[in-house]
Amino acid sequence: MRAYRNAAEAVRSLPRALSDAVAGGEDLSKLAGIGKDLAEKIAEIVQTGSLGLLDEIGKTTPATLADLLSLPGLGPKRVALLHAELGIETREDLARAARDGRIRSLAGFGPKTEARLRSFLERGAPEEGRTLWSEAEPVAQRLVEHLARLGGVEKVEIAGSLRRRKETVGDLDVLVTCKRGVKVADHFVAFEDVETIVARGSTRSTVVLRSGLQVDLRVVPPVSYGAALFYFTGSKAHNVAVRKIAVRRRLKINEYGVFRGKSRVAGRTEAEVYRRVGLPYIEPELRENRGEIEAARRKSLPDLIELGDIRGDLHTHTLATDGTDDIVDMARAAKRLGYAYVAISDHTVAARIAGGLDARAMRRHLIRIEKANGSLRGIRILKSAEVDILRDGSLDLPASVLADLDLVVAAVHSSFAMSRERQTERILRAMDDPHVHVLAHPTGRLLGEREAYAVDVERLIEGAVTRGCFLELNAQPSRMDLPDVWCKAAKDAGAKIAISTDAHAAHQLDFMRLGVGYARRGWLERGDVLNTRTATQLERLLRKRR
């Protein structure tokens, strides 16, 4: 696979047409990434228009198998095995085999993999057309670096929903200023990820990347940069609301500037644009027309939380269940981030696919946590568990074990299909238990995979406040749960939020950056967030709940 991919890359970067090279008798195997065998195959394709080997494979291997490669945990070897052993050709075949329990017995598969595939397939296809923020952002960063490499380019910034840190983005909106005559468009479409050029012009261009993500580029003069950044950051609803204020002051705002009649009175910076209409600067994450303009006029905009405010992580997993690192690895990684504490919160037994721990195994696990805590300096490891909320709202560990935990995180992992009323009652009942501190991923949504279960989030927020419980903002890229509007509602109701990564590996502790960015969309300030507290403050709060 890799050899073929490298060869494709070599061919793509050839400065002339491949057919000419072959016709000219050029030895392709001299090119980096192409050996003798591949050179012969390429020559065959150029000369005959097809490849004998591929036609042979096509006779025995259905084309639908390629589709299976996109499923989580399936590579070429595993797909080949599924085909050879079970005759699986399509997603439907695979779903049926998973349901019948026929996959777990294959070499290299097991009940966990089978269950994962099954739940993925039963959730249906991901939402079309939107990309997770966490996937779009690294691409955007590479694109910014690419654009900045061109001489004469001055400012490069990503606007749109990515800048507002929405959990998913429809497309990327890139803004560039440069010296006169710089060929930004040509350089833009030469970005390595570009698959299709939709439009190429001196002020606007559009491409589609190989990942399917579309990118809009605008080139603007420096005097308009702030106005353009304001305009293309959006949201549209925010822009419309600000424009209304401008109109009352007999001003006009567009992407070129703020105008009084024909003269431009602002536009170089965003702050200047806001100032001209009588507003303080409004952070991009707030620009959704959800009250930020009123707050700006009252001078009561929130002082948004920052990554540096975070003092620990309150939801992580280890090898004891479905994590990939041990307690000490997780604690060391947390310490490297400058944290004061980290909670080790592995699954309980009802979370069967995650290899959850029963009461006895949990007790042994807690002893290991204590030992690790004793052996490491400069970081406090909290004894915790992500306890399943059972169908009737009871908890998946006996009270005697719960009482030994420093921090109890409770979560719904099953029975998503209940009525809204029953689901709400079930969760409130779990929060009735005085051992419970945090309700994890409160809505259960999985972006692009699964909608939130039906639940009355307002009542959960109220319930948390009256009981002294906390709500989690789970920072796994596909969760971002509690959703932003509910974070704001929770804050307004006086609930405190734990921003937690739910890390299943040490490096996933870095998801905190995503969580904090998203929390800003929910108007959260340092004081609204549980894990900005010092270890001592935190322990006092957790004990108070009991």
- Asked if residue 235 binds ligand DGT (CB under 6 A), the reply is yes
Q: Which residue is nearest to ligand DGT (CB)?
A: 234
Work out whether 244 is an interface residue with ligand DGT (CB under 6 A): no
Q: Is 13 helix (H, G, I), strand (E, B) or coil?
A: coil
The window from 27-35, 156-164, 196-204, 338-346 that contacts Ca ion (CB under 5 A) reads: 156-164
Strand partners, 446: 450
Minimum separation from the CB atom of position 201 to ligand DGT (A): 17
Q: How many CA atoms lie within 13 A of 527 on its CB side?
A: 5
Nearer to Ca ion, 173 or 325 (CB): 173
Task: Say how many residues touch ligand DGT, by CB under 6 A.
Answer: 14
Residues 6+ apart with CB under 8 A from 384: 314, 315, 343, 344, 345, 405, 406, 407, 408, 409
* DSSP code at position 291: S
240 binds, among Ca ion, ligand DGT, none (CB under 5 to 8 A by kind): ligand DGT
Classified as helix, coil or strand, 201 is coil
Q: Given CA atoms 109, 110, 114, 117 in this order, what sign does their dihedral have?
A: negative
Residue 411 token pair = 């979560």
3-state secondary structure at position 436: coil
Task: Give the nearest distance from C-beta 260 to ligand DGT in angstroms.
Answer: 19
Whether 249 and 278 have beta carbons less than 8 Å apart is answered as yes
In the complex with ligand DGT, which residue's Cβ is closer, 171 or 433? 171
Residue pair 158/178 in contact (Cβ under 8 Å)? The answer is no
Q: Give the Å distances, CA to CA, from 82 to 55, 103, 113, 114, 420.
A: 21, 8, 13, 12, 39
| Cβ distance to ligand DGT smaller for residue 173 or 285 | 173
* Closer CB to Ca ion, 33 or 170, in the complex: 170
The residue within the footprint of ligand DGT, chosen from 147, 218, 234, 489 (CB under 6 A), is 234
234 binds, among Ca ion, ligand DGT, none (CB under 5 to 8 A by kind): ligand DGT
- Toward ligand DGT, which CB reaches closer, 94 or 159? 159
Q: Could you say whether residue 204 binds ligand DGT (CB under 6 A)? A: no
Contact with ligand DGT (CB under 6 A) among 239, 384, 443, 532: 239
Minimum distance, C-beta of residue 274 to ligand DGT, in the bound complex (Å): 15
226 binds ligand DGT (CB under 6 A): no
Q: How far is the CB of 440 from Ca ion (least distance, A)?
A: 31
CB of 259 to Ca ion, least distance (A): 24
Q: Is 240 in the site for ligand DGT (CB under 6 A)?
A: yes
Per CB under 6 A, the segment of 40-48, 62-70, 226-234, 477-485 that binds ligand DGT is 226-234
Q: How many whole angstroms separate alpha carbon 422 and alpha carbon 419?
A: 5
- CB nearer to Ca ion: give 173 or 313: 173
Residue choice 42, 160, 219, 282 for contact with Ca ion (CB under 5 A):
160
Q: Token pair of 510, please?
A: 């870095």
Which is nearer to Ca ion, 120 or 188 (by Cβ)? 188
Element (H, E) at 378: none
Residue with tokens 């998973």: 98
Q: Which residue is nearest to Ca ion (CB)?
A: 160
Q: What is the maximum alpha-carbon separation in the chain?
A: 81
284 binds ligand DGT, rule: CB under 6 A: no
Residues 45-84, one symbol each (x = binds Ca ion by CB under 5 A, - = not), give ----------------------------------------
Look up residue 42 and give its amino acid: I
467: left (phi over 0), alpha (psi -120 to 50) or beta: alpha
By CB under 5 A, name the one of 114, 167, 173, 433 that touches Ca ion. Answer: 173
Q: Is the alpha carbon torsion for 158, 159, 164, 166 positive or negative?
A: negative
Neighbours of 418 (CB within 10 A): 16
DSSP result, 25-94 = T--GGGSTT--HHHHHHHHHHHHHSS-HHHHHHHHHS-TTHHHHTTSTT--HHHHHHHHHHH---SHHHH
162-201 positions binding ligand DGT, by CB under 6 A: 166, 169-171, 173
Torsion, Cα 297 303 305 307, to 10 degrees, reads 110
For position 160 contacting ligand DGT by CB under 6 A, the verdict is yes
The nearer residue to ligand DGT, 137 or 171, going by C-beta atoms, is 171
Query: CA dihedral in degrees (516, 305, 497, 364; nearest 10)?
Result: 60
**CB contact at 8 A, 176 and 102:** no
What is the DSSP code string of 376-408?
A: -SS-EEEEEEEEEBPTTS-BSS-HHHHTT-SEE
Nearer to ligand DGT, 230 or 470 (CB): 230
Enumerate residues 212-231 that contact Ca ion by CB under 5 A.
Answer: 216
Q: Which stretch binds ligand DGT (CB under 6 A): 71-79, 233-241, 267-275, 406-414?
A: 233-241
Task: Give me the least distance between CB of 389 and ligand DGT, in Å please.
Answer: 33
Q: Which stretch binds Ca ion (CB under 5 A): 155-163, 217-225, 342-350, 432-440?
A: 155-163
CA 397 from centre of chain: 31
Judged by the rule CB under 6 A, the positions of this chain that interact with ligand DGT are 160-161, 166, 169-171, 173, 231-232, 234-236, 239-240
Judged by the rule CB under 5 A, the positions of this chain that interact with Ca ion are 160-161, 171, 173, 216
